[in-house]
Structure 1
Amino acid sequence: MALDTGHTHILQQTEEDMISNLSDDVLLFILGKVNLTTAMRASVLSTRWRHLPWSLSELNIDMKDFLHEPCADPTVADHIDRAMASLTVALRNMLSPSCRKTEITRLRISLIICNSYSSEIGYLVNEVVETGMLKVLELTSGVDMPPDNDIDEEMVKHANGVNSFFGNYPSISHCLTRLLLFHATFAESDLHNLIANVCTELRYLYLFRCETGFQSIFKIDAPNSKLNVLEFAHCCFAQVELLCLPKLEVLICGNWLCKSLSLTLGGHLPCLKEVEIYSAMRRYQEQFKLSELLCGITCINSLSLDFLGEKIWLLPEKYHLLSAFSNLKELYIYDIFVGFGLLWTIALLEAAPSLEILEVEVYDHRCDVENQIRQFCAERSNAPWEVSVFAYPKNLALKELRIIGFNASEEHIVFIGAVMDRASNLKSVALEDKFCKDCDAISTTSVKCQFPKNEDDQEAIVNNLRNRFSSTAKIIFGG
């Protein structure tokens, strides 16, 4: 049977006309949802769309979008070079004064600064800043790759490229609000100068596998900095001392590579409200006391601790945390291995008299059995904290308890009861199932200790709690 190509052509033309009849604002909204290469193709294929890319107020230009092969490796030099060449051409076109009539409210560029094309990119961006056409710049330099791929010479070369980039094009730093750096080895003075004196408009800084020399001490003293969020991941500093960051609100530190988490927060950090710490403890690493990290800090209201399913890296304590936890409102404890139990977290609850939300997540996956990363981790063991199961009722401020990965085990029931016993103001207990995108399900060791999914099993859990513990908190099941 012959296809009705005429009818199909008319239908496609009608659909195209319907889209083309939309206003510029709607079409720009559509283009804003796709990457730049797709937007440029649209402008070539249709006269109606031809002028639109140069009217976008926000541009997102990512080197990975310009890789010439679908499976091209962004860590291979030849692939990087070709992608950077295409990115430079695209940026030259998008920033052309003869084509662009509207200002750019935000420009995001992901590239590798030490590449030979970064000089032209720096010139183009610097020029558009000086003309007043660019208001906010967000820059990412480098790509995420396994630590085994680290090459000392390349990391030094990258850091030198970053220093030269900002030195040669100083106007760029005037509108740079976000900076993400991957795999770079700086001189200590250079990295400090970048934070304290060069990029003074920064609100967000992310350092991944960055360092200032083997086992170095890195001090940040930046009284004029506007930095709100500082994040370290897989970094090799022996010690990081935050002496002065007056606008810092959020600190995130994860997967440290030294012997212990060597971070000092005893400086001038008056706005610090949120601290997030995450890591899988390695064989050579040591546990540490949370009070030593938070010594002198009393303004934190949100704390997140993530153990990534491995050994608990906290040493037992409670009373030394009272000062640091005095204003704590939210406590999130993630990825506690299912074999550990949760009762030890009560010590943290009792050290936080103003805490309103406690969220605990259980880690239990089939998929980690063959995980190669596990061979580098310390033997799994729980926090050796002795906590009384039940105590005389205390009027703690806690209003909400959440357990993600709840199972119907006696250990979880006893933990909930211990919280109820201490928090007479408790309003709700949210019990949630958890699924892993890799193994599709929580892998419980006992069929009897799975998440209660039907109404009868959920009612049995509620009745068990009501009969054993005196609390009016509402018990909610989700999944």
Structure 2
Amino acid sequence: MINAQDFLPEGVSNVNVSDDEMVRVNAAAVEATKSILRRRSPGVNIVRFLSAAFYLRDDVPISIGQAVGHIMETHMVEMAQFSVMTGKVGMDELEDDELVMYGREFMRFFDACQNAFRGLTSLDIENLRFSELDISNILITCKQLKHLRLNNCDSGDPSTLEVEHAHLSELSIVNCFLEQVKLIWLPQLTQMTFDGWINYQDPLVLGHVPLLETVSLSNIGYSFHNLVKLSEFLSTTSIRDLKLGFNSEKIWVQPECLTGSLASVFRQLRFVNLVNIPEGCDLTWTMFILEAAPLLKELYMTVWDHSCIMETDEMTRKAESYSENRGVEWDSASSHFQHHNLVTLIIFGFQSEDYMVSYLRRVVAAAVNLEDVFLYRMLECNHCQDDRPFRFPRTKRQRMSLKKRVTAGIESFAIIHARSVLRSDHLEKIIYPECSLDTSRRMLLSQQ
């Protein structure tokens, strides 16, 4: 694996790399790629995994692409990956003319290295503005593609992305200025991430996706947005793993009474992860997922007003119609409802507040075979400071008091764990598909 970032000086990261450093480390990546490929005798060895990550600068991508294309012509390559970086992090750093420039540079690279792209199995691209047919042409050429990640890629105006591919199994669309995504024919697709859409009327249209089982959906809900019905949003699927992200803003999901269509969507659901639910909001609405998913085994949720991803300026919030009422109400949960398969409930950002304790009582009463409840403090972000008082049961006495509040009058064998150290298996479950492994591992527990 060749990664241009490995040649950056100590203390320099993709966040603060300069243009001169990009040129230098790109050149080092070219030489490393050519050196490694020269050592292989044509037709002798199978290349199991070939990965190149580099910056979109000058003719370096073409040099790497042509070298990779050459080895694909002379060797059998099982997996080949390109990660094309721009050195820009976050949409706010980029002007429209930069997106256009990067898009043109990428297509120049693509046109010059058709042999390499025809053999690619994974492509990760960011900060590109394409013309209307560019992505379709890329998919047509990359016939072996299995993994595609688009981050902040668009066509200028809100547009529809139609996706057809025989082998694509993982698709990630993050912060792309798209009005609608149509998955027309993807017979091998198993995982999808869709983070940030602008149209709340059918933003995702699912065609032939018979194997789709892992779905991650995240968005900011504004005050003027209609709530999304998952029975319609995910119709024709039967997913096993579901992540819903709310960016610490308005809950954009419409709680639904149990219907045949909702039951069909959730009939195979085993794992749910609810991310960045705003603090202070009634959590009862999540019970509709339990009612509709009888096979659900694990429920994770993070309750967090994550300040560095939130818009905190009051004037901006008002001008852009952020919602001040971020919760959603639902009173349809049956008092006699029982769930027989949920064994684990995990809450990150737990506080000993009435609304959280009341929710815990409701889940513990309904989930008759619940085994473990793990309560964690707030996650800690390296990019923001939060010195708010935080009511977490730190002492043995506080934990015993919490347990009494939760289980009073309820017969349950569930063990309540209030922890300050994050278990590794729980960390693995909250590593989001749209985040890098390094980014996710930096999410620690607050020691407040």
- TM-score normalised over the length of structure 2: 0.81
Q: Is contact 2:220–2:249 with CA below 8 Å preserved after alignment?
A: yes
2:146, 2:313 → 1: CA distance? 36
Please give the root-mean-square deviation of Cα atoms over the aligned residues, in Å. Answer: 3.3
1:83, 1:361 → 2: CA distance? 38
How does 1:361-376 map onto structure 2 within 5 Å?
361-364=302-305, 375=317
Which of 95, 115, 118 lines up with 1:171 in the alignment? 115
1:99, 1:93 → 2: CA distance? 13
Aligned position for 2:204: 264
1:293, 1:115 → 2: CA distance? 42
Per-residue displacement from partner, 1:423-458 (whole Å, max 9, x unpaired)?
Answer: 22222222222341346778346xxxx111222221
Cα deviation for residue 67 of structure 1 reads: 6.6
Which of 202, 223, 240 lines up with 1:301 in the alignment? 240
Give the SS at the match of 1:391.
coil
Which of 257, 275, 279 lines up with 2:215 in the alignment? 275
Aligned position for 1:37: none
The 1:170/1:340 distance shift into structure 2, 3 A limit, reads same
Aligned position for 1:62: 4
Give the SS at the match of 2:264.
coil
Aligned position for 1:138: 81
Shifted more, 364-373 versus 380-389: the winner is 364-373
Per-residue displacement from partner, 1:78-122 (whole Å, max 9, x unpaired)?
Answer: 443343333323333333348999765323222234632222222
Aligned position for 1:88: 30
2:406, 2:332 → 1: CA distance? 18
Shifted more, 135-144 versus 157-166: the winner is 157-166
Matched, 1:107 2:46: no
Q: Is contact 1:309–1:335 with CA below 8 Å preserved after alignment?
A: yes
Q: Is contact 2:282–2:328 with CA below 8 Å preserved after alignment?
A: no
1:435, 1:164 → 2: CA distance? 42
Cα deviation for residue 370 of structure 1 reads: 8.8
The 1:466/1:135 distance shift into structure 2, 3 A limit, reads closer
Count of residues in correspondence between the two structures: 412
1:236, 1:280 → 2: CA distance? 13
Q: Is contact 2:4–2:55 with CA below 8 Å preserved after alignment?
A: no
Aligned position for 2:399: 458
- TM-score normalised over the length of structure 1: 0.76
Aligned position for 2:419: 478
Give the SS at the match of 1:105.
strand
The 1:146/1:91 distance shift into structure 2, 3 A limit, reads same
The 1:60/1:442 distance shift into structure 2, 3 A limit, reads farther
2:38, 2:323 → 1: CA distance? 58
Q: Which amino acid aligns with 2:23?
A: D
Give the SS at the match of 2:254.
coil
Shifted more, 263-272 versus 148-157: the winner is 148-157
Give the SS at the match of 2:200.
coil
Shifted more, 299-308 versus 87-96: the winner is 87-96
How does 1:140-155 map onto structure 2 within 5 Å?
140-143=83-86, 144-155=88-99
Which of 108, 127, 131 lines up with 2:70 in the alignment? 127
Q: Which amino acid aligns with 1:139?
A: F
Per-residue displacement from partner, 1:246-287 (whole Å, max 9, x unpaired)?
Answer: 11111111133x243853243010110111112334577554
How does 1:41-440 map onto structure 2 within 5 Å?
59-63=1-5, 65-66=7-8, 70=12, 77-97=19-39, 104-113=47-56, 115-132=58-75, 134-143=77-86, 144-195=88-139, 197-222=140-165, 224=166, 226-256=167-197, 258-260=198-200, 263-281=203-221, 286-297=226-237, 299-320=238-259, 321-364=262-305, 375=317, 378-387=322-331, 391-438=335-382
1:68, 1:452 → 2: CA distance? 40
Which structure has the larger Rg? 1
The 1:71/1:142 distance shift into structure 2, 3 A limit, reads closer
The 1:141/1:282 distance shift into structure 2, 3 A limit, reads farther
Q: Which amino acid aligns with 2:350?
A: F
Per-residue displacement from partner, 1:204-251 (whole Å, max 9, x unpaired)?
Answer: 1110111234111111122x2x21211111101111111111111111
Q: Which amino acid aligns with 1:326?
A: R
Which structure 1 residue ranges, 5 or more long, are not aligned?
A: 1-58
1:219, 1:367 → 2: CA distance? 33
Q: Which amino acid aligns with 1:205?
A: L
Identity among equivalent positions (%) equals: 25
The 1:185/1:334 distance shift into structure 2, 3 A limit, reads same
Per-residue displacement from partner, 1:362-395 (whole Å, max 9, x unpaired)?
Answer: 1146777996798567134333322257601424
2:366, 2:10 → 1: CA distance? 60
Give the SS at the match of 1:188.
coil
